[in-house]
């Protein structure tokens, strides 16, 4: 390599600016411009997006080396050694060229701009009294495309087709021209397809737009004529004085499910019938319900008047929808309410109604005392028992039309007990005297069942002798019954059931315990009552001898039987003052009686010493 080339390369490297620096090189004729620092050779696109719109993109970027702002341009001019006019030929200018206004198409400028004109045309009437029919129309002019539409507002009972008469389209004025906005004005005639329309007026927007935007002078508006035939057919509409409007939502929120209840009486030809009147505060409606009683002989219709507004006067059906209605302020106790020509007298109300009137009107609703003759009391008489089945089952056929089983008391079933007694049959037949029976008394049903335990070589089979049932007393019949109860059974007693006499010999421990716990129902188990009978019979000394002193051995039952049942010589047991169950009661309380007698004797002896 030559030394000259090496030196030139060193000079270029010495003047080479650092990477990224901008160099301003004047563009002179004959000079070839080449940006040695340009590294991006991609072709840029011409359009960009800004706010959703395509806009031209500047091809000259800051990396190309050209000035981007006015300050950079002035700095470039001042730093140049050549005059700008000579270098650029007098074409440089710092002023921006004037911009042309953007073009706006007509469909954008006049979009949704519609001019409205009121007009009419006369339709000839053939074979009729009137010569023509005057029809009012509305002419719509669309500035977007100079199209026109003609519509006729519909009227009730007109008998003609109305609505759109001419669809939106450009209407021809003659063979070569179409109608434009300049052809429309007040008091002019326009002809569309052989029909002549006379324009009378336009709306306020149309008048302002034609005056301001189109610089048109409008003629004075004309009044719209009235068809005499149509005006003669118009009937005056019945108007009613409008009541002040009520806020139904507020009334619903305040009085929803608030009902006033009044108790009323209606004199129906001498018969006082009771009714309940409901007044609904939410919509001022009234409902009347009839109070039915058993066997009143009336159909079970719940409503006399369904929920509706109640008119004060009722003469014809139109009064139900027109007229004056009852309000809650019209109701008072003792007042009369006309319920569709039925005079109802309000006699009382419930507590909520009474409180509502007290809070809102400061009125006390005092109940009206109405004395009505009491209905005759009908005493129900049942026929005599016929003997079939139980008496309770037969009684159901008199109380119910459809037979039902007799109801049982649950509490009585829970407290049920069975009192068992050992008995023998008192019969004149010798073979029956050895038979033993177990008589079960069911409490509290007072029903009796008899069971005979089987015995060997007795001559009887044994088993169930009497089903559980109620047993009549001897001498009573089914028509006039009297049944055995649990208090009629005690040890030593005699009962006769179905012509069989039984003597009760003994009972189990549960029977004695139950009777002593309920001594008010079973006198033979009341020890105090038994002691009173002992004292009245003069057997007190014999009882004291049998009891003995405290600490002695318990006395056997046979000793009590000999002392209390056979105390008097020659006295049979059947005529003894005490029964066997009473003797057993004393026997069961011998320890307590012995201690009580000893304490009483000690106290009496102490009083004797004190007296000495």
Residue 100 lies in a domain: no
C-beta pairs of 448-457 under 8 Å, 24+ apart in sequence: 448/484, 448/497, 450/497, 450/502
Residue 386 structural domain: 380-415
Structure tokens belonging to residue 367: 């109940």
Domain count, the chain: 6
Q: Is 87 domain-assigned?
A: yes
Q: Is residue 578 part of a domain?
A: yes
Does a structural domain hold residue 243? no
Residue 142 or 234, more confident: 142
Do 220 and 111 lie in one domain? The reply is: yes
**Are residues 112 and 215 both part of a single domain?**
yes
Range 335-360 average pLDDT: 93
> What does each C-alpha distance from 183 to 142, 204, 259, 357 come to in angstroms?
14, 19, 70, 74
CA distances to 22, 429, 486, 502 from 426, in Å: 150, 9, 21, 6
H helices of 199-328, where?
Answer: 204-212, 228-233, 248-255
Q: Please name the residue that has the structure tokens 């990477």.
A: 19
More confident residue, 29 or 467: 467
Identify whether 82 is part of a domain. Answer: yes
DSSP 8-state code for residue 246: P
In a domain, 317, yes or no: yes
Report pLDDT digits (tens) over 418-437.
999 999 998 888 888 889 99
pTM for this entry: 0.40
Closest CA to 564 of 591, 598, 529, 540: 540
pLDDT tier, 460 (very low <50, low <70, confident <90, very high otherwise): confident
Q: Are residues 562 and 603 in the same domain?
A: yes
H, E, C per residue of 467-486: EEECCECCCCCCCCCCECCH
Residue 312 in domain: yes
Are 84 and 140 part of one and the same domain? no
* Residue finishing a domain among 487, 517, 547: 517
For residue 292, tell me if it sits in a domain: yes
Instruction: State the pLDDT confidence band at 18, using cuts at 50, 70 and 90.
Output: very low
Query: 541 and 499: one domain?
Result: no
What local confidence, expressed as pLDDT, does residue 26 receive?
63
Mean pLDDT of 272-292: 93
Check whether residue 421 and residue 509 sit in a common domain: yes
Same domain, yes or no: 80 and 54: yes
Nearest to 197 by CA among 205, 188, 206: 188
CATH code, domain with 156: 2.30.29.170
Do 141 and 184 touch, CB atoms closer than 8 A? yes
| Cα 534 to Cα 589: distance, rounded to the nearest angstrom | 14
Q: Average model confidence (pLDDT) for the chain?
A: 81
Final residue of a structural domain among 462, 496, 517 = 517
Per-residue H/E/C for 140-171: EEECCCCEEEEEECCCCCCCCCCEEEEEEECC
Q: Which of 480, 497, 517 is the last residue of a domain?
A: 517
- Range in 228-242, 363-377, 419-433, 487-501 the model is least confident about: 228-242
Whether 282 and 168 share a structural domain: no
- Please name every residue paired with 192 in a beta bridge, in sequence order, or none if there are none: 195
Nearest-angstrom CA–CA distance, 449 and 467: 5
Q: Is there a contact between 555 and 546 (Cβ–Cβ < 8 Å)?
A: yes
pLDDT of residue 3: 42
Could you tell me if 115 and 68 lie in one domain? Answer: no
From 412, 413, 419, 411, select the one nearest 514 (Cα to Cα): 419
Q: Provide the Cα torsion 206, 211, 215, 217; round to 10°.
A: 100
Q: DSSP class of residue 241?
A: P
């Amino acid at each position: 390599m030559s030394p000259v080339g090496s030196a030139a390369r060193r000079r270029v490297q010495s003047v080479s600016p650092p990477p990224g620096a901008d160099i301003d090189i004047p563009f002179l004729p004959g000079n070839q411009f080449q940006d040695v620092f340009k590294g991006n050779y991609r072709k840029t696109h011409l359009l960009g997006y800004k706010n959703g719109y395509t806009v031209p993109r500047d091809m000259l970027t800051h990396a190309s080396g050209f000035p981007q702002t006015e300050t950079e341009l002035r700095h470039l001019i001042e730093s140049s050694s050549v005059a700008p006019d000579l270098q650029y030929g007098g074409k440089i200018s710092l002023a921006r060229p004037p911009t042309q206004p953007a073009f706006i198409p007509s469909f954008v400028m006049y979009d949704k701009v519609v001019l409205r004109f009121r007009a009419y045309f006369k339709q000839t009437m053939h074979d009729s009294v009137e010569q023509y029919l005057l029809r009012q129309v509305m002419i719509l002019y669309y500035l977007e495309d100079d199209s026109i539409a003609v519509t006729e507002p519909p009227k009730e009972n007109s008998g003609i087709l109305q609505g759109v008469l001419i669809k939106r389209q450009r209407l021809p004025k003659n063979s070569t021209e179409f109608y434009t906005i300049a052809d429309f004005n007040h008091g002019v005639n326009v002809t569309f397809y052989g029909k002549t329309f006379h324009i009378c007026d336009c709306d306020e927007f149309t008048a302002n737009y034609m005056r301001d935007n189109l610089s048109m002078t409008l003629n004075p508006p004309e009044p719209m004529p009235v068809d005499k035939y149509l005006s003669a057919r118009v009937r005056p509409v019945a108007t009613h004085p409008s009541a002040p409007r009520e806020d139904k939502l507020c009334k619903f929120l305040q009085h929803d499910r608030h009902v006033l209840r009044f108790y009323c009486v209606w004199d129906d030809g001498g018969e006082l019938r009771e009714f309940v009147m409901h007044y609904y505060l939410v919509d001022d409606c009234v409902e009347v319900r009839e109070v039915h009683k058993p066997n009143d002989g009336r159909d079970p219709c719940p409503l006399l008047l369904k929920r509706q507004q109640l008119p004060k006067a009722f003469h014809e059906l139109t009064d139900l929808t027109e007229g004056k209605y009852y309000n809650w302020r019209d109701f008072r106790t003792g007042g009369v309410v006309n319920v569709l020509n039925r005079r109802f007298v309000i006699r009382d109300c419930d507590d909520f109604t009474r409180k509502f009137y007290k809070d809102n009107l400061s009125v006390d609703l005092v109940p009206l005392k109405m004395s009505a003759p009491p209905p005759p009391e009908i005493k129900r008489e049942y026929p005599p028992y016929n003997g079939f089945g139980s008496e309770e089952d037969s009684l159901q056929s008199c109380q119910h039309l459809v037979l039902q089983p007799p109801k049982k008391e649950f509490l009585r079933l829970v407290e049920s007990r069975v009192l068992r007694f050992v008995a023998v049959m008192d019969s004149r037949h010798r073979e029956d005297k050895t038979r033993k029976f177990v008589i079960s008394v069911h409490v509290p049903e007072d029903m009796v069942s008899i069971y005979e335990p089987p015995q060997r070589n007795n001559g009887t089979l044994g088993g169930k002798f009497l089903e559980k049932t109620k047993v009549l007393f001897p001498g009573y019949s089914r028509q006039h019954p009297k049944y055995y109860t649990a208090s009629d059974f005690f040890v030593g007693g005699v009962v006769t059931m179905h012509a069989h006499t039984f003597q009760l010999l003994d009972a189990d421990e549960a029977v004695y315990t139950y009777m002593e716990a309920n001594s008010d129902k079973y006198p033979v188990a009341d020890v105090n009552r038994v002691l009173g009978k002992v004292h009245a019979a003069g057997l007190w000394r014999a009882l004291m001898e049998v009891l003995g002193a405290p600490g002695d051995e318990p006395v056997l039952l046979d000793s009590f039987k000999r002392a209390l049942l056979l105390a008097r010589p020659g006295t049979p047991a059947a005529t003894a003052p005490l029964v066997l169950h009473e003797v057993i009661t004393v026997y069961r309380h011998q320890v307590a009686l012995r201690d009580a007698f000893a304490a009483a004797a000690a106290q009496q002896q102490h009083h004797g010493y004190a007296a000495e």
